[in-house]
Structure 1
């Protein structure tokens, strides 16, 4: 009986050792497989980094790692890199190619499914994106802004503001839409009055002819109860030029023409207009940005009359979803109806919610 127990004990120990060895081998294989499958970046100083390549723009390469989060690497500091996942590589000239990438001797070798291996000069790379980044790049994204203020007591007032902006940006084009609205009511001594009711909205499509020039078409809509403007619809288009276009700053100038239809309470006007304008966007930091757009519309049907459209905003980013926004929207006309004021300013502030593939602040 004693011998039997000893033999059993030895057998159990042997099995435990075999199991431990097998587990260790499996763990090592898993670790090696993970390391091998990860994208690799080798720097000119000999350092080696592994992770997932997300984007590159010819200036830097972004690598997502488990040990250091997102790492940005200077493009000129990279000796070579390789990916086990398909990357979308766009050269400065030529069509985009898709496939796993290895780099050597200053070239990127893209192993495509249909065209075999395509060579792209490293200095000629415009951008590189992973599959998820490429999907996000061509998707719609934007922001929803809202604000509410109330007063209750001797006087009851309610003020509500709403704004939304959405855009879809690709290498060649940009489609965008916006709306800003304010509605305010007040009650004093039992008398209820609407003190503000205005809405500005628009659609626009830009198409890049070259790296600097673009054409655009647009349609704007305005309603202003206290200008007795039931609806203004403007349809137009023209040609623009990118004076500055960087990751932090965009400054465009543009010109063209438009057809303006105004439906006031007491009359309807239809006029042709010229258009001159500019737009400016700038990121002051990772958390703060400003933007503005100014448009001037001389009336071609009544010389001396004109319209001015001005929009500006300042945005402070709280996190990836929430921001705080202050927005001003001004509309000026030289020929208001019935002796009313020609200038109306809409100022809103509130919380901004990001949705979809937003492109920044």
Structure 2
């Protein structure tokens, strides 16, 4: 009997959501789920019956939550509350030990989940694809596929990204290139880490046919939470160029890197940009810039539409400059 009772209790516990939050609306509706984030006037509630539902903050009467949440008011860094408790209309109680505090909902700017310093395993990323086929006086086929993913395990973070571009006009190939990059970050504190990376680019059309870069250096993670992430780094690189005529060059350079993304309007929109600006230590070129920026719109929890622009510049190179700009629009998946 005791064994059966414990088994039933275990099954019941496993089938019960870890957190059950409740939101009361001014129109009298009562919604249950898990509060994911509040930002930009939208409260995102994850439900079993309707997926992620964005709620207008002005229509929220009060709410409650049993999960720890970081509540930000104005320019403050925020307070981590043990729970939120329902209160009078337009208010909520921030329960934190023996000193609960009732605040106006209108005074709250953000609600996000506090991120632990070290997580066991966090994996996130996206795959974007853009396809364009035109049949007119000139038939054009344009392909662009890219991916970007990272996995954090303890003090280590693995990052990988890649891209493939191909464009043909009347069966004549005008663009055919791909790139891949892998980097490994080792965190020493919550913010500071050391970055080691390798990057390879292959272009079958341009004069600069191959690029290989190996670099290492320190980095700083400003934030990484439900609303996005921002990190910068400094690298000492060794780069090898190979041109279509068979000539080769190699040189050392210093570079600054950045990777930024920010979710907006209840995580419906995502602005992102990343890139690297490098300065060779010898006279082979003045500078090199590789930058990407774009916007994603989430259609569902996992599917999105995207538009982005990419810029690749090598200025002052002995074997000729490179200046390429590419604009794409397509669809993708995010996890």
Q: Which residue of 2 aligns with 1:160?
A: 143
Query: Following TM superposition, by how much is the alpha carbon of 1:293 offset from its aligned partner in structure 2, in angstroms?
Result: 1.7
Q: Which residue of 1 aligns with 2:233?
A: 254
Conserved in 2, the CA contact under 8 Å of 1:41 and 1:78?
Answer: no
Q: 124, 129, 134: which one pairs with 1:151?
A: 134
**Aligned in 2, Cα 1:72/1:345: closer, same or farther, shift over 3 Å?**
farther
Distance between the aligned counterparts of 1:40 and 1:181, measured in 2? Answer: 41
**Aligned in 2, Cα 1:155/1:301: closer, same or farther, shift over 3 Å?**
same
Conserved in 1, the CA contact under 8 Å of 2:264 and 2:270?
Answer: yes
Distance between the aligned counterparts of 1:293 and 1:350, measured in 2? Answer: 19
Q: Which residue of 1 aligns with 2:104?
A: none
- Name the larger-Rg structure: 1
Q: Which residue of 2 aligns with 1:317?
A: 298
* Residues 129-178 of structure 1, C-alpha deviations (whole Å, 9 max, x = no match): xxxxx8xx726553222222212243222111111222212342221111
Q: 194, 200, 207: which one pairs with 1:228?
A: 207
**Within-5 A mapping of 1:35-46:** 38=16
Q: Which residue of 2 aligns with 1:345?
A: 325
**Within-5 A mapping of 1:321-340:** 321-336=302-317, 339=320
Is 1:269 matched with 2:249?
Answer: yes
Higher-helix-fraction structure: 1
CA RMSD, aligned part only? 4.1
Conserved in 1, the CA contact under 8 Å of 2:165 and 2:178?
Answer: yes
**Aligned in 2, Cα 1:212/1:274: closer, same or farther, shift over 3 Å?**
same
**Aligned in 2, Cα 1:36/1:151: closer, same or farther, shift over 3 Å?**
closer
**Within-5 A mapping of 1:164-313:** 164-187=147-170, 192-266=171-245, 267-285=247-265, 286-302=267-283, 305-313=286-294
Q: Which residue of 2 aligns with 1:131?
A: none
TM-score (norm 1): 0.60
* Residues 259-305 of structure 1, C-alpha deviations (whole Å, 9 max, x = no match): 00111112111111112222222111311111112322111122762
Conserved in 1, the CA contact under 8 Å of 2:185 and 2:196?
Answer: yes
**Aligned in 2, Cα 1:53/1:170: closer, same or farther, shift over 3 Å?**
farther
Conserved in 2, the CA contact under 8 Å of 1:176 and 1:203?
Answer: yes
* Residues 319-355 of structure 1, C-alpha deviations (whole Å, 9 max, x = no match): 122111123222111134654x42112322211023x
In structure 1, list runs of 5 or more residues that go unmatched: 1-29, 44-50, 56-62, 80-104, 107-124, 129-133
TM-score (norm 2): 0.65
Moved over 6 A (4+): 39-43, 51-55, 63-71
Query: Following TM superposition, by how much is the alpha carbon of 1:65 offset from its aligned partner in structure 2, in angstroms?
Result: 8.5
Distance between the aligned counterparts of 1:67 and 1:151, measured in 2? Answer: 41
Conserved in 2, the CA contact under 8 Å of 1:258 and 1:273?
Answer: yes
Number of equivalenced pairs = 261
Query: Following TM superposition, by how much is the alpha carbon of 1:181 offset from its aligned partner in structure 2, in angstroms?
Result: 2.0
Distance between the aligned counterparts of 2:281 and 2:183, measured in 1? Answer: 23
